C-alpha cells in the first residue's frame, strides 16, 4: 500500500486601495481563471461604508510553475500583497 500525499496550494492576496487595484487584479484573475479552483473574497463594510481593503483566498490547481507565475503577476500590481502557500500532508 503506497503512501499518498495530499498537497494544497493557496494564494493569499491582501488588497489595499481596492477601488484602484481591483480592475487590474480582476483582469489577471480572469486570464488565469483555469488555475483557480476556489475563490473567496472578504472585505469589511457594506454599501456606503465599503472598505478600501480586502483579502482574497484562492485555492489553486495548476502546476507549481503556473501557480508561481500567477502569484508573480498579482504581486506586481500596486497596493497588492500576496503569498503563495503550499501545504503537504498525509492523504487518504
Query: pLDDT tens digits, residue range 26-58?
Result: 999 999 999 999 999 988 777 677 788 899 999
Strands (E), 1-92: 5-15, 36-42, 54-60, 80-90
Of the candidates 31, 49, 34, 37, the one whose C-alpha atom is nearest the C-alpha of residue 11 is 37
Using CB atoms within 10 Å of the CB of residue 33, give its burial: 0 to 12 exposed, 13 to 18 middle, 19+ buried: exposed
Q: Cell 488588497 sits at which residue? A: 15
Q: What is residue 76's DSSP assignment?
A: T
The CATH label, of 3.40.1180.10, 3.30.70.1150, 2.30.110.10, 3.90.650.10, for the domain at 5-90 is 3.30.70.1150
Q: Quote the pLDDT of residue 2.
A: 61
pTM: 0.86
Amino acid at each position: 500500500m503506497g503512501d499518498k500525499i495530499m498537497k494544497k496550494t493557496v494564494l493569499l492576496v491582501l488588497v489595499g486601495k481596492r477601488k484602484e487595484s481591483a480592475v487590474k487584479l480582476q483582469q489577471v484573475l480572469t486570464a488565469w481563471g483555469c488555475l483557480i479552483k476556489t475563490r473567496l473574497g472578504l472585505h469589511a463594510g457594506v454599501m456606503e461604508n465599503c472598505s478600501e481593503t480586502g483579502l482574497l483566498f484562492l485555492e489553486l490547481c495548476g502546476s507549481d510553475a503556473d501557480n508561481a507565475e500567477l502569484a508573480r503577476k498579482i504581486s506586481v500590481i500596486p497596493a497588492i500583497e500576496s503569498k503563495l502557500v503550499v501545504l503537504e500532508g498525509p492523504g487518504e
